[in-house]
Structure formats: structure tokens, C-alpha cells
Amino acid sequence: MQTRLLRLLLLVAGALALAPTLAHAQEQVTVVRRGSQKITGRFEDWNRSNDTVYVRVSQNDQQKFPMADVQLIVVGGSADGLPASEAQAARGGDHVLVTRGGEVLRGRLINIEGGEGSAKEGEPRTVSFQAGGERRFRLSEVARLYLGNYNR
């Protein structure tokens, strides 16, 4: 009985030790820009007032570019081997959000806010999406976000 309890305590301690690493990994994105340039790093912010996206590639490298230049954001993965049905749906003017659970929504990205490196660091990183009404998702619940006129 004591051995089982000790194993359980070690398992819980290990999980708690990994929690910050997992949270950080869930904010890793691959951004595909309209010129097909790929940038992989931690999503930090989207400043709506100047339409600038900030992606932290390394401690000393923060990439900044206009959101209008972004055609795809992949959360926690690469932009390779994307489902053809998604790419086809994203070729039009609508934005397409794909959740980790497989739900595909057509609509419009409203905002990405909160999280480390943003103006709202104390809040979880949240994606607001308009699809027949506003829906909010934690970034970790989003698999891919196509921003219209996808051309890959």
C-alpha cells in the first residue's frame, strides 16, 4: 500500500513539474505568411491598434509583422500535411477555425489576447471568433486558424 501511495505521489509531482512546460508548448505556433514564409515560436500578442503580430522565436528574436500578412496559424504543430478539405474551405474569404476536437468553424477572427508577452499577461491566451455569434476558445483548444484566401 505504501509503495502505491509513493508511486502516486511521484506521478503527481512529475505532472506538476511538467505543467509549465506543457502550457508553454501549447502556445507554440507556426505562422505561415502570405509569401509562404514560415515562422515558428511562441505566440505573444496581436496588437489590434497597429495590426501587428508578435511571435517570440528565441529569447533574443521577436518577429513582428502585420496580421494582414498571415494566412495560417498552426497551434502546437507544423503547417505540413494539412487536410485538403480544410485548405479548400480556407481558399475563400472566410476565416476558418479548426478546434483540437475537430470542429470546423467558418467566420471571422475577432481577437487573440492574454497570455505571456501580451498586454494582458495575467489572463489565459484566448481566441475570439465570430461564427453565427461570438465564440471564445483558449489557444490550446485551437488546432489551426486560416485567415482567408489561403493559397498553399
Q: pLDDT for 87-103, tens place per residue?
A: 888 999 999 999 999 99
For residues 86 and 144, the answer to whether their CB atoms sit within 8 Å is yes
At 7, the pLDDT band (50, 70, 90 cuts) reads low
Q: pLDDT for 29-83, tens place per residue?
A: 999 999 889 999 999 999 999 999 999 999 999 999 999 999 999 999 988 999 9
pTM of the model: 0.81
Q: Which segments within 34-122 are labelled E, that is strand?
A: 38-47, 52-58, 61-66, 70-75, 95-99, 104-113
Average model confidence (pLDDT) for the chain?
A: 86
DSSP secondary structure string, 12-28? HHHHHHHHHHHHHHHTE
Q: What pLDDT is attached to residue 2?
A: 60
Q: What pLDDT is attached to residue 151?
A: 86
